[in-house]
Amino acid sequence: MILKAPERGKKISDSIVRQIRDAVMSGDFKLGDKIGPEKDLMAQLNVSKSTLREALRVLESMGIIEIRKGLAGGVFVAEVDMKTTLAGVLNFLHFQSVSIRDITMARYLLEPAIVRIAVPMVTEADIDRIEALIQSESGPETAGPIQGVGFHRYLARITHNPILILLMDFIDNLVADIKIKGGLGADFYAAVTVYHRRTLDCIRRRDAAGAIAAIREDILFVGRTMAARLNCSAFEPTAGDGLSAAADWPPDGTGGSQRKNEEDIPEEVKRDADPAATPESPASRLILRHVVSGRLYAFEPDDGTKA
């Protein structure tokens, strides 16, 4: 494929980025293809070395290309892996405001569907692995994304659907960072363990409706607790908002109304999760920001604006 010189009047490096990215996404360049040595690209595009390298740095940071040195070197199409994709999404969110309510709503819609798909596909080896994960995720020291695949991420992996896996990895990273920011204690993690065990018990019995009900309770409990701790809005599914119906697809027979007995959840933890127990701050949206390390930190701006 012959690349074309960018149109003048626009930022040239941006035009180069779009042209090469579009060529890769459309299949004109395949994984591992050599796009060309720098000298040839400069000639094709009629640009200076500094302009070309500016564009290549952007493409490399996006994970679309890799630059190899030496006699056989040049610019090659790279494999876009999960880590690169998540980094790109996080970079996008650097310029957005994302609330705990947003995250909980997304989980409430997505995870019941994951459970519905996973239950008939789960193996005994999966059940043993989930049991081990529940044992290992019992305290705040295991809350960070450095722990890798956890309970919710593993359920997504059972589906073998790369889109669901990507979405769950991304959402779970957000939740893990908020848990760390909130400084949630041992009682919180003990309660989460109860919900995870209930979900696993239902999965073990191939009870999809029960597993869906249990994971919804888990999601709402975590969302309410994080919101109360950080003094911001929690997500609450209500009749007439369409969310209950959406979360019930595929139909599971529970109508979104099945609730499990909560006698083994500590009272102080349930109080922390009560959305009525803590008045909302004037700035109701929790802002998440991507920092250089790839982690997120959360804060509530005093005036409700982005900081």
Please report, for the chain, the start and end positions of each structural domain, with discontinuous segments joined by +: 12-77, 85-299
12-77 CATH pick, 2.50.20.10, 1.10.10.10, 3.40.50.10860, 3.40.80.10: 1.10.10.10
Beta bridge partners of 298: 288
Using CA atoms in the order 140, 228, 224, 104, what is the torsion angle rounded to 10 degrees? -80
pLDDT of res. 60: 84
- The residue ranges of the chain whose pLDDT is under 50 are 143-148, 239, 252-263, 268, 272, 275-307
Q: Indicate the burial class of 228 (C-beta count within 10 angstroms; 0-12, 13-18, 19 or more).
A: buried
CB 97 within 8 A of CB 285: yes
CA distances from 294 to 41, 91, 147, 153 (A): 32, 9, 15, 19
What's the pLDDT score for residue 231? 87
Output the average pLDDT for the chain: 75
Contacts for 16 with CB less than 8 Å, ≥ 6 apart: 3, 6, 45, 47, 51, 52, 55
pLDDT, residue 259, reads 42
CA 255 – CA 46 distance, rounded (Å): 63
The topology under which CATH files domain 85-299 is: Four Helix Bundle (Hemerythrin (Met), subunit A) (1.20.120)
The enclosing H or E element of 13 equals helix 12-25
pLDDT per residue as tens digits for the range 180-236: 878 888 889 899 999 999 999 999 999 999 999 999 999 999 999 999 988 888 999
- For residue 163, the SS3 value is helix
pLDDT of residue 128: 93
Give pTM, 2 decimals.
Answer: 0.58
Cα 187 vs. chain centroid, distance in angstroms? 25
Query: What is the per-residue pLDDT for 18?
Result: 86
